[in-house]
Amino acid sequence: MEARSIIMAVRDGQELTPEAAVWFARGLADGTVSDAQAGAFAMAVLCRGLSDEGRVALTEAMRRSGQQLRWDLPGPVVDKHSTGGIGDSVSLLLAPALAACGVYVPMISGRGLGHTGGTLDKMESIPGYKALPGTAVLQKVVADVGCAIVGATEEIAPADRRLYSIRDISGTVESLDLITASILSKKLAAGLEALVLDVKVGSGAFMATLEEAQALAQSLVRTANEAGCKTAALMTDMDQSLGHSAGNALEVLEVMETLTGSSVNEALWDVTSALGGEVLTLAGKAANLDDGAEQIDAAIESGRAAECFGRMVAALGGPFDFVERFPDRLPAASVILPVPAPRRGYVAKVNGRALGETVVRLGGGRLVAGDRINPSVGLSGLAMIGEELGPGEVLCLVHAPNADRAERAIAAVQAAYEISEDAPEEPPLLHARLGPEDLA
C-alpha cells in the first residue's frame, strides 16, 4: 500500500477502507506521508467526501495513531466538546459539576485561534495552573478529583496534529469529514464512554446557519456512535456572547461567580445543565434528561462543583485557596473604560465574530498559533439582545493593556452592536438536539 494509491482512490470517489485509513494515519504520525501527500489527501476528501464508513475508518485510524487512555475507575468516563464561540466558558462549569455527580471527566481541550476563545488559555489565566501536565498526571488527577481540564500531549492522536496543520495551509479546513475526524480522534483516544457535543450556531460561531450546524452535528454524532462512544449533540445559540464576559481571566471570574453563587449567569448555567443532563443520561447516571439536568443544578447550587473545581486547580499547580480568593488571584487589566451606547433603544443584533476579534486585538487571543496571550484583557458586562439601553448606559467595559488599544476597542464594540427603537425577539438559547435515537 502507498500514499499515492490511497489519494487516487479517494479522489476518484472510492471507499476509504479501514486498512487504507490505518496506513495513511500511521504515515502521518511517523512522517512516511509527505506534506504534499497529506495536502492532496485532504483536498481529495474535501472535494469528493467520505461515506459514513470511510469517515469512521479515518476517525478510528487517527485515534489509534498514538496513545489511547485506559481507565479503571468506579464510574463512567465522559466528556464534552464545543465547536467554539465567544464568552463560552461552559467547560469550566460543566467538568466539575459532572465530577460532583459521580462521573469522571478527562477534558482534553484546545487553545483559541481566530475569534473564538480557548479553554486552555482560560485555565492558564489562573496563576500556576499547568495545562499540559502529561498523561500520568492527567490520569491521577481524574482519579483523585473526578475531572481535569488539560491539553493533549504529543502522544494523543499525532496523525490529527499533523493533518490539522496541513488543512490550514491547504485550504481544506471546512471539510466536514476532516473536522469530524479531527475532533473525535482526540476525544475517543481519551477512552470515553459518553460524549456530548455543543455545536454553536450564529454570528459568533464557525457555523453561521442552523443548516450548517445540523450537518456537522449529524456527522459527529453518527461517527462517534458508530465508533462505539455514546454521543449526542445540542445546537446552541452563538449570535452573541454566551457569557457577559469575553476574555480569559474575565470568563474565569464569571464562572467562579456562578459556581459560588455570588453572581449567576443564567444562560451559562442553562447551557451547562442541558449538556450535563445529556451526558449523564448517555452514561446511565440519570434516568432521563430532566433528571440529569437537575443533578447538575444540585451540584452547582450545593457548592460541590465549586469544591471540585478548587481541588482540580490545586492538583494542577494553581492556588490552594482559589475558590475563596479568586478575585485576588486573577490578573487585572491596566485600563478599564466604558463603551457608551451610541443611542437609546434596544439591543437588536450583535456581531459576535466582531466582538471576538476585538478581544484578539486587545491581546486576548491569537492571530497566529505562536502569539502570546494577555490573560487580563477582554470585555465584561456585555449588553445582550433585547436589553433596553437608556441615557448614559454602556454596552460593556473594555479591559485593555493601554489607553490606545482601549479606544480602538470602544469603536469596534460600538460598530458590532445594532440598536433599535423596538424590542426584538430574543434568540432561543437551544436551537435543536440530535441524539443516537435520531440517526435511524
Instruction: Tell me the catalytic residues.
Output: 79-82, 119, 167, 182, 186-187
Contacts of 106 by beta carbon, 8 Å cutoff, 6+ apart: 69, 77, 79, 138, 139, 142, 147, 148, 150, 190, 191, 192
Contacts of 286 by beta carbon, 8 Å cutoff, 6+ apart: 277, 280, 292, 295
- 378, containing H or E segment: strand 378-380
323: nearest Cα among 273, 245, 255, 381 = 255
Task: For residue 315, give the amino acid letter.
Answer: A
Cα angle at 364 between 160 and 415, to 5 degrees?
110
Report the distance separating Cα 252 and Cα 61, nearest Å.
36
Cα angle at 257 between 252 and 263, to 5 degrees?
135
Q: What share of the chain is helix, strand, coil (3-state, %, to 5)?
A: 50, 15, 35
319: nearest Cα among 332, 304, 309 = 309
| DSSP string covering 21-67 | HHHHHHHHHHS-S-HHHHHHHHHHHHHH---HHHHHHHHHHHHTTS-
Task: For residue 224, give the amino acid letter.
Answer: A
Q: At 264, phi and psi to the nearest 5?
A: -90, 130
215 contacts 176 by C-beta, under 8 angstroms: yes
Contacts of 277 by beta carbon, 8 Å cutoff, 6+ apart: 286, 289, 290, 291, 292, 293, 294, 295, 296
Give the β-pairing of 335-340 and 394-400: antiparallel
271 contacts 236 by C-beta, under 8 angstroms: yes
Give the β-pairing of 430-434 and 230-237: antiparallel
Contacts of 434 by beta carbon, 8 Å cutoff, 6+ apart: 214, 217, 218, 221, 232, 233, 234, 235
Report the distance separating Cα 257 and Cα 245, nearest Å.
12
Q: Could you tell me the three cell numbers for 65?
A: 495513531
Report the distance separating Cα 118 and Cα 120, nearest Å.
6
Q: Could you tell me the three cell numbers for 184?
A: 473525535
